[in-house]
Amino acid sequence: MAVAKNDVDEAMLAAKKDVEEAKVAARQEVERAMAATKREISNAMVAAQTEVEEAKIAVKKDVEEAKVAARDEIAAAMAATKLDVEEAKIAAKLDVEDAKVAARQEVEAVTAANKLAVKAAMAVAKNDVEEAKVAASEQIARAMAAIKRDANLARCAAKTDVEKAKSAAKTDVEEAKDAARQKAEEAKEAARQEAEEAKIAAKLDGEEAKVAARKDVEEAKVAARDEVEAAMAAAQIREARLAAREDNPERRLRRQVSLSAGLPPGKKYHYFLSHKKDHSTLGRQPESLAMAIHDSQVLEGFVGFFDVDDLKTISTEQVAEDVKSSCALVVVLHDETCASSWCQFEWQAAQLAGIPCLCIVDANHACRRTVLEQVKACNPYLMKHQWVSYIDSYRHDASTQITDWLHEHATQD
């Protein structure tokens, strides 16, 4: 849905951008047409003004020429009149008055003729100017009409282009909407299918989880039953061993004789006690437990290596040597023991030397199964012999099991 919406938004933005670009292009084209039209109008007006100026200059020139011609004619007429007068004075002094009258009449006639000629020339020049103005006005009107037609055509063309651009943009938008709608439908269908598959997978996972949980519950029930049965059996064995210990002095004597016989050749200790002293939540409690186990076996007559009593310097060489000098390795475990690099080193040294290992789990503070999985992943060599669960209420039984195991694996026959 989000992808489809993004596609629709992108299509709308693209269409909007195309419309804006079409508007800008149309506006630019109209502006270019208007600018060209303005230039043509300006050029036409300049040309018309130039023609009018030229017509004025020509008319002015014609008027000047007409004036010059009239002036020349008047001068010629006056010169001719003067000559006639002189001739009339010379020829007939008596007829001076007549000649004067005739000359005056002739001058008046010439003047009138000259005035008529000047008026006619001015009328012609005025007519030419008016015709030039009319022609210029008509030309300007034609140019303006042509320019107006061109502007109207340009506006119509621009409007047509804009309408086409709008129509194309609208078509693109509709197509984009259709494509986006189709993609949205496809996305919905894909999402629906994925949801169905997820539901089916979740249902399968739920069924598998239920089966696994049911299996875990059954295993937990079996383990709890086994632990209860083991605890009951251990209690019975403890009671039987206590009775046997109390009622069998020969066994106590045999153990004392066995221990008094000494250690096997090359051995300094019956056992090496491996443990992690501290715990993130229990503090130094693991060390106290290890010390209690060590003290109980010392009371039984065993010689054990316990770092609180024996370790003077810490080095891997010395630790490996002490492990090799022991008949067995007694390991006290809780849920953080496998995190100790020193403990792992001691276990590896015992494995390399072929020394048997007895594991004791602090069942009061750790889950036996959790510790079992940790040791199995860390060093399976420690799982060769049956483990002992140390519980406060059965601590005497646990001590008896450790003692019996040490008599079997850590004493000389």
pLDDT digits over 25-57, tens only? 888 887 888 888 788 878 878 886 888 688 688
User: Which of the four pLDDT bands, split at 50, 70 and 90, describes residue 74?
Assistant: very low
Predicted model pTM: 0.42
Highest-scoring range by mean pLDDT, 243-257, 306-320, 387-401:
387-401
- CATH code: domain of residue 323: 3.40.50.10140
Closest CA to 29 of 159, 185, 167, 184: 159
Quick check: is 120 in a domain?
A: no
Residue pLDDT, tens place only, 186-204: 878 876 887 677 677 657 7
Give the whole-number percent of the chain exceeding pLDDT 90.
Answer: 32
Number of structural domains, the chain?
1
Q: pLDDT-based confidence at 115, cuts 50/70/90?
A: confident
CA pair distance 269, 305, nearest whole angstrom: 6
The pLDDT of residue 175 is above 80: yes
Residue 403 half-sphere exposure toward CB, CA atoms < 13 A: 24
- 76 lies in some domain: no
* 163 within domain boundaries: no
pLDDT tens across 208-217, in order?
A: 756 665 776 4
Domain span including residue 392: 269-411
Where residue 301 falls (left for φ over 0; alpha for ψ -120 to 50; beta otherwise) is: left
Cα–Cα distance between 141 and 143 in angstroms, integer?
5
Three-class secondary structure of residue 381 per DSSP: helix
Q: Is residue 401 included in any domain, yes or no?
A: yes
Decide if 77 is inside a domain: no
**Residue located via tokens 């130039």:** 50
Mean pLDDT over 17-24 rounds to 87
Higher pLDDT, 26 or 235: 26
Q: Is residue 328 part of a domain?
A: yes
340 within a domain of the structure (yes/no) = yes
Spatial CB neighbours of 400, under 8 Å, sequence gap ≥ 6: 238, 241, 242, 245
- Judge whether 288 lies within some domain: yes
Collapsed DSSP state (helix, strand, coil) of residue 359: strand
Residue 365's nearest CA partner among 318, 333, 343 is: 333
What is the spatial distance between Cα 162 and Cα 20, in angstroms, rounded to a whole number?
10
